[in-house]
Every structure is written in structure tokens, then in C-alpha cells.
A and B are shown apart, each in its own frame.
Chain A
Amino acid sequence: MTAPPRIDVRALRKSFPTPKGTIEVLDGIDLIVERRQFVTLLGPSGCGKSTMFDIVAGLEESSSGEVLIDGDPERRAGRCGYMPQRDLLMPWKTVGDNVAVGRVAKGIPRHQARSEAVGVLSRFGLGDFAGLYPRMLSGGMRQRAALARTYLAGNDLLLLDEPFGGLDSLTRLRMQSWLLDVWRETESAVMFVTHDVDEAIRLGDRVYVLTERPASVAVVIDVDLPRPRPYETVLSPQFAQLKAIALQHLHTEATGNG
């Protein structure tokens, strides 16, 4: 018997009631993240990517459809490491205690969570910073610390919601390389939301291109570019072809509905 996918989203729908009527946000999404797979979701801003993340993370309920985490359709909160765009490091905790908080949340004794956090921090290149407060770190380091927290809490299953959206473009490229290294080393499964086409293709094994709201899957692109993928990957002809496909679908969406 083969293991179930880490994330299995089936015909997911979500609508919100508002005073002006019901707003459809998700219009039947099917999506699978296999073990050790890096899946990116590419879509226009405000298309409902974050809503879908909230549902997978157990922060929202779906209107219909199913979400199975490791084959389990019941319990979602606490099953994966969720990371929003803001790093959300707590100013009252040291970097080490911030990284440990996801484990403390699960009832792990604090001293044990702390020593686990120190271990992850040194793997993530932040070993010397465990005792500092977050405000002493640069933007890129804060984001790495937040990812260390997500990883430690996340059971090798990471939901990253535009984690590099707030960084300058150079730092962003470096963080992508770093994330790919971490991912290869940790063998995590990753679901990564972005509205940056290059980022989606460079990082992903598979790219789900979403439509404007209400979001559905416009196209699924399998990225067969070799790994590791350095910066120059984005200059290769194969990359350009994949980017053309993605842009075509995004563009069709942008003009087709308007």
C-alpha cells in the first residue's frame, strides 16, 4: 500500500456571506502535494490563495469539498507548518523561543522545544542568534527564523504564503536558493504561494496556475528542470517556455474575464 499524499485537496469550494450577497472565493480546487514535493501556487493577488491556505492550515472551514492531510480528512490544525507573509516573530521572545513556540503550542515541554529550536537554527545558519531578540535581525534573517519556526512546527509539511513577498529582489533571490537547499536537506513537502512567475517556476516541481476570483486551477505545469536550480536557471530556454505557458494562462485570465 502506498502512502497517501501529504496534502490532498478535492473539489474545494469556499464562499463568504456579505451584506451585498455571497462572494465565491474558491470554485472547485483540486490539488495534490506528494511526499517531498515542492508545489507552487501561482495566481493574481486577491484570487483566494490565502483563503485556501487558511483552510488547509485549519484556520477556516470549507463550504464544500475535502482536504486530507496525510490521508486524514478530519483534523488539520497543528498538522502542518504555516507561514504567512509577515514573519510574525514575537518581540518578547528570543529568536530561539520564537522558533520553539510551535512546539510549545503542541504541549511539548519548553526546555525540550528550546533545544530542538537551537538544533534547527544551526541547520538554518542562525545558530549564533538563538539568544537575540528578533528586532536585532535583518529582514532576510527574520524570514529565515520564521521559516525555522514553521519547519520545527510543521512535521515536514510546510505551507508558505508569499514568504518572500516583503523582501527586496536581491534578498529574495538569495532566500529562494537558501529555501531550496533547506528543502533538499529536510525532505519536506512544501506548498508555496506566490504571484511571482519566476519564483513559482524556479522553486516548484509543479506549478498550479490559478484564475482570478473565484479561483480555480487554470493549468498545472510540471517543471522538469534539473535540480539544483541556481539563479541562472531562469535564463534557460526551457524556463522561458514554461514561463510563456504560465503567462499565457495568467494573461488569458486577466483579459478574458475583463
Chain B
Amino acid sequence: MGDHRLAPVAAPIGFAVAVLVLWQVVAQVTGADPRIIPAPLDVGTALLRQPGLLLGHATVTAAEMVLGFAMGAALGALIGVIVGSWVLARRALYPWLVASQTIPIPAVAAVLVIWFGFSILPKLFVVALITLFPVAVATADGFASVDNDLVRLMRSFGADERTITREVRIPAALPFVFSGAKVAAALAVLGAVFGEWVGARAGLGYLLLLEQRALDTDEVFAIIAVLSLLGIGFVALVSLLERLVIPWHVQHR
């Protein structure tokens, strides 16, 4: 039925449109209080009411996401390389790495605000903390799973360890690193909002609290929509980076 090449794009969009239409109809027929459940058109209006304001706060949140992610992913990859390359480091650190994922990040955010105040730093650290673990664990798994026969083959050619790392270990681990990075990118938006909730003067998380207190529910929904778009956009960006860095792997799937 129809053009199958378009289906992967058209199907999810069609589904979303159908849900929005249904929601709009239900809201109008039942006459629900827009302060409880605003209709999609109300949310759309709210989005366009002060686009400059939303954009300004979105820029702040996006910057926190990108910078915090860069810090967290870089540190996570470094920890992953260490844990994945040395057995002793793996034994000592890996259980803690997994256990640390149970730490409630918002609680940590509260501490960070005590230390660093209302600047951008606590937000960056929260995002970094939340993105560090998936990248570190994925990288460690990637390095630990390198095909030992390939390493032996390189040794038989007379390669030193540095060359083996450059030619074999790093490229073999990169697909793992990117799958961790994509999980981390989706979490970055969460980290930024947490960071803003415990203390901020700008950003979508901060704006969301203000609108919530004013019971501007349509504005709250509009902010949620923009936050979701930020998250989707960031994951797409990391996926694009993956395509550029390891094209051989992306084509593989």
C-alpha cells in the first residue's frame, strides 16, 4: 500500500498528527479546563506568543546540554578506556561505575548549587555527571570486547602496542562509544532541567517552574514540547556525528 520508501517518515508523523487531532476534538467536545489540559491549538498559540522568550531560554538550556555533554562524554570515554584496557582498573572501578548510576542526580544537583551558586557551572556538572556513565560503561565494554585474534595478527606483523591501539582497539570500540553517546545525549536534556530546577535565572527548566506556579498550563506544555525537540535534535546530531566518524558501521546495519 502506497510508497514504501516514504513509510518510515510518513508513518510516525501521521500517527502524531492523528493523536493531536483526537486530543483537540476531545478537548473541545468535553470543554476541559485549559489550566488542567490545554488543547493542542492552545499549546501552539502559547508557543507563538513570545517566541523570542522561548528561544532565549532554549539557547541557555541547549548550551548547558552541549557543553555538559562534551565534558561528560570526554571524561566518560577516558574512564572507559582505562577501565576497558587494564584488568586491575576494571576490577576496582567497574562495579562502582555501575553502582554510581543509582545515585539520584537531582540530589547531587542540590549540592552542586551550594558549591557553585547560580552560575552555569552546576548545570554543566549535572549534565556531565548524567552523561558520563553511559559513555564510560559503553567504552569500557567496547575496549574489553576487542577481538583478540586481531591483536595477535597485528603482533605477528611486528606491530607495537600503540599501533595496535590506533589501528584495532579504538576503531573496534567506537561503535560501542557511539551507542553510549546516543543514550547520553537523550539524558542531557534531563540533566539540564534538573540543574536549572535547583537554582537558575534562565533556561527552559527555570521558565517551566515560573509558568507552573502561574498555572499557565499551555505555556508549560509548550516548554515541554521545546525541551523534547531539543532532546530529539541532540540525539540526531550525535547520530549524524556517528555517520561521519564510523560510516562503515552505520551502513552495516
Contact = CB atoms under 8 A, between A and B. Distances in A.
A31 interface: no
B149 A86 contact: yes
A91 B167 contact: no
Contacts of A107: 163
A131 B91 CA distance: 41
B171 A57 contact: no
A58 B157 CA distance: 9
Given A91-B249, A133-B248, A105 B157 contact: yes
B252 A153 contact: no
A107 B167 CA distance: 12
Interface residues of A, number: 26
Interface in B139-174: 147, 149-150, 152-159, 163, 167-168, 171-172, 174
Contact of A101 (B152, B167, B172, B248): B167
B237 interface: no
A77 B156 CA distance: 5
A130 B159 CA distance: 22
B155 A59 contact: yes
A104 interface: yes
Nearest to A104: B167
B155 A77 contact: yes
A155 B251 CA distance: 35
- Indicate the size class of the contact surface on chain B: 20 to 34
Contacts of A79: 158
Interface in B164-202: 167-168, 171-172, 174
Contact of B154 (A91, A105, A133): A105
A167 interface: no
Contacts of A84: 149, 153
B249 A105 contact: no
Contacts of A105: 154, 157-159, 163, 167
Contact of A90 (B150, B155, B156, B163): B150
A86 B154 CA distance: 14
The secondary structure that dominates the A interface is loop
A58 B249 contact: no
B163 A91 contact: no
A50 to B, nearest CB: 11
A135 interface: yes
A43 interface: no
A106 B174 CA distance: 24
Contacts of A86: 149
B14 to A, nearest CB: 34
The 4 lowest CB-CB distance pairs between A and B, nearest first, are A78-B158, A105-B159, A105-B157, A82-B156
Given A54-B152, A78-B156, A101-B157, 16 more contacts: A57-B156, A77-B155, A79-B158, A80-B156, A82-B153, A86-B149, A91-B249, A92-B172, A92-B248, A101-B167, A104-B159, A105-B154, A105-B158, A106-B157, A106-B159, A135-B252
Interface of A: 54, 57-59, 77-82, 84, 86, 88, 90-93, 101-102, 104-107, 133, 135, 153
25 contacts: A54-B152, A57-B156, A58-B156, A59-B156, A77-B156, A80-B156, A82-B153, A84-B149, A84-B153, A86-B149, A88-B147, A88-B149, A88-B150, A88-B153, A90-B168, A90-B172, A91-B252, A92-B171, A92-B248, A92-B249, A93-B248, A102-B157, A105-B157, A105-B158, A106-B159
Interface of B: 147, 149-150, 152-159, 163, 167-168, 171-172, 174, 246, 248-249, 251-252
